[in-house]
Structure 1
Amino acid sequence: MSTWEWPAYTKTIHRSVYPAINPTNPLNSVTGKVVVVTGGGAGVGRHISEAFSKAGAKAVAILGRREEVLKAARAEIEKAGKARVLTYKADVVDEAALNAAFASIEKEVGKVDIVVANAGYLPTPAPAAEVDLKEWWKAFEINILGTLLTFRAFTAHKSKDAPTFISVNTGAAHAGSFPGFSGYTVSKLGAAQLIASLQVENPDMRIISYHPGVLETDMNAKSGMPVSKDEFSLPAGFAVWLASPAADFTKGRFLWAHWDVDELLHMEEEIQSKNELVVGLSGWPKQVEMNVVD
């Protein structure tokens, strides 16, 4: 049951896939591409992997911590399209395992074109003064360090054809403060700023953060937040669209899967000229006449 809704950016808000982000839309084709999805064995990650297979990917490699989950996901992804599906047991905070996985992927199917950094962690909600610090810090290790290690492994094996790095984040990173969620929101905000930094340092790549929506996942159940739910097809299709040529203007920005992409395309010039959809300090800069005192 719906309780409250997030504020909007586009007039139209989606909860499931629609034509413009449909993986089968020829404009979203990733024919011949090699795609890697971390946390790709379950939940949002598995649906993203299936969507890229539907979009014509040459190969989809899924990384995760549980072999049995990866094996089950492989069968579902293979049903979704004709992509060759590779599985690797690799934790995103294990640099050696990530590097070995990406090296194997390049050897098996070629350079990597698209990476979706989907692996994330939500600490058990609790006030910051009382939370288990080891549990709290784990969010930073996975959400920030894990994202960076994934990116570094990618850069060593990326293709030269518009390499794209998509970070699955959360609207909670910038939508306000929530009691009991400091470890999650702060680490996710840090991950968003990391993505912005990586984009500045790598202008030849497309590097983006996006909020996938609110899905029926173990993480969502753990949060206990009563927000209207979305279908998995929404973040899956949106990820495929983010990798399409039409989304090139999203470089370094933070988007939500709910937002209508046709409206976003019409807003492209405004988004760029006003530098919208970036993380910053609300109210700054203010248009005042400065008086610098030495």
Structure 2
Amino acid sequence: MAPEPTWEWPGYTKVIHRSVYSAIDPTNPDNSTAGKVVVVTGGGAGVGAEIARSFVRSGSKAVVILGRRESVLSAAKKELEALGSSKILTYAADVVDEAGLNKAFTTTEEAVGKVDIVVACAGFMPEVVPAAIAEIGDWWKAFEVNVRGLLLTFRAWMPHKSNSTPSFMYVNAAGAHFAPVPGLSGYSPSKIAAASLIGHLQAENPDLHITNFHPGILETPVPSMATKSQFAVTRDDISLPAGFAVWLASPAAAWTGGKFLWAHWDVDELTAMKNEIAQGNELVMTLNGWPKQVDVVVKA
């Protein structure tokens, strides 16, 4: 759908985008992924499918999509093959299935080579109900998919990552850093945990580029926070996170490792502030208000 001209969130950059623009356009030569092998989990539908399309448009050597439904993957494969010259591979694999993920990455390397870029887009949102009455299996599935599935995807990639500026990104959600909202006790804490995990993975692997971002508020066939929660918020165009993911994999975004970004934020402004962001330790998950400048008195 067309992006809406209003904006109800706090800002970070002066310019806010709600659809793709030149700096993140996948056809922009600066964002070329020529020669790159890309894996997108949750890539058969919704945001994941649009991200896969953008990597085809940016000239990737191969785009590999993982998902749970063979029929959806088959339809997505035909569409992607019609978009460009990228080799398209599909694997039916659930992100909580460690053996299935390992097999998918092993087979990918055998078929098209080492994996340069991973976009972890698979996610789950439980029903929006108070924690005290939530169906516990549905509530806990958010952590299984959004945290365990994220880690399993990263671990499956590690033996098969390329040596050419490998990049791993997670499609997170702004709910990870909002104030608590009734009914989101399963979803938001799982996204907080995922954001913290991304920071730890980057700290443990400083030679890699590992980051996460909020994709926007989108209308997709896949149930999302916007549709399940029925929040009255304006929507973005799905081209926004798709282009942003391609930009995140570019050399221009190499400085974003360990950060939590919003796809809406203007990337030229972000890049101009990168030293300020690094020095202020901004865009990372911390405890708001701490540390406070006080004269500490220690009592044994």
**Residue 198 of structure 1 is aligned with which of 201, 209, 232?**
201
Alignment map for 1:214-293 (pairs within 5 Å):
214-217=217-220, 218-219=223-224, 220-293=226-299
TM-score of the two chains, using structure 1 as the length reference: 0.98
Instruction: Look up the match of 1:163.
Output: 166
Contact preservation (8 Å) 1:50, 1:81: no
Q: CA deviation at 1:226?
A: 1.6
Partner SS, residue 236 of structure 2: coil
Mapped contact 1:3–1:226 kept (Cα < 8 A): no
TM-score under structure 2 length normalisation: 0.96
Find the residue that maps to 1:208 and give its secondary structure.
strand
Counterpart of 1:75 (choices 78, 90, 94) is 78
SS of the counterpart of 2:160? coil
Question: Aligned partners of 2:13, 2:179: CA distance in 1, in Å?
Answer: 19
1:59-98 C-alpha deviation (Å, 9 max, x unpaired) = 0000000011001111221222211000000000000000
Aligned partner of 1:21 in structure 2 is 24
What is aligned with 2:154?
A: 151
Q: Which amino acid aligns with 1:248?
A: A
SS in structure 1 at match of 2:82: helix
1:292 Cα deviation from its structure 2 partner: 2.1
1:239: how far off?
0.2
- AA matched with 2:180: S
Tell whether the 8 Å contact from 1:162 to 1:206 is kept in structure 2 after alignment.
Answer: yes
CA RMSD of aligned residues (A): 1.2
- Residue pair 1:3, 1:227 contacting (<8 A) in 2 also: no
Q: Does 1:113 align with 2:116?
A: yes
Amino acid of the structure 1 residue aligned with 2:232:
P
Q: Give a deviation string over 1:194-217, Cα, whole Å, max 9, x none.
A: 000000000110000100001102
Match of 2:139 in 1: 136
Equivalent residue number for residue 127 of structure 2: 124
User: Partners of 2:84 and 2:289 in 1: how far apart?
Assistant: 47
> How many residues align structurally?
294
* Structure 1 spans left out of the alignment, 5+ residues: none
How far off its partner does 1:4 sit? 6.4
Q: For residue 259 of structure 2, what is the amino acid of its counterpart? A: R
| C-alpha separation in 2, matches of 1:20 and 1:242 | 11
Select 1:11's aligned residue among 9, 14, 24.
14
Determine if contact 1:23/1:51 at 8 Å carries over to the other structure: yes
Where does the alignment leave 5 or more consecutive residues of structure 2 unmatched? Answer: none
Which 10-residue stretch deviates more, 279-288 or 94-103?
A: 279-288
